[in-house]
Amino acid sequence: MEKAERRPYRMGARAAAMEATRTHILRTAVALWMQHWYDEVTLADIAKAAEVSVQTIVNRFGGKEGLADAAADWLAGRVADDRRAPAGDVKAIVAVLIADYELHGDANARWGVDAERIPAIARAIAGARSQHRAWLEQVFSDRLPAGGPAREHALNLHYAATDVALWKLWRRDLGLSREETERAMHDMVIAIDPRRSSDE
């Protein structure tokens, strides 16, 4: 009877340890890909940094592309958690978004280049765009028309005004400070008047 009681506990502890290892590998892979191009980071690099074997990574993810897919999903969840802002508060929404781009913006730019030839990165970029659009619909719900083409037009304008490529233009290409970038994005969002028809 005592052995039967211990077995579920051991299985639960083992599952928890396996999940912890999986999360540690994902966190390590994301950290390395945040700093380097996809091709520059090998499974051996990730294994060494995570203090696991390459075989452990292969067993859990099937290889580098499988790991990239899982890492993109894991990162999307983290970004969703970090992007909490009250709906309708443009200043807070932009501040949250700029904070996210300060952490991930440069990596996003590299991934955009890699997406042209690496399917896992292309899927991650597509997922991130979809997630960003859904987030905009939520936080700007009070600024968007009820439906139809006018809503789609206003959403597209909000998307363009808050895109990571615009952050890169301001921060990296034009050399604006974080504060200047935040103010510029805020002003662009405020300037969008969803009540105005795209026909005008």
pLDDT at 122 over 70: yes
Q: What is the mean pLDDT of residues 126-154?
A: 91
Q: What is the mean pLDDT of residues 62-81?
A: 85
pLDDT of residue 94: 96
Q: What is the mean pLDDT of residues 49-75?
A: 92
pLDDT of residue 110: 87
What is the DSSP-derived secondary structure letter of residue 40? G
pLDDT at 3 over 60: no
Q: What is the pTM of this model?
A: 0.76
Distance CA 55, CA 164 (A): 36
pLDDT of residue 8: 58
Per-residue pLDDT band for 194 (boundaries 50, 70, 90) equals: low
Distance CA 112, CA 103 (A): 16
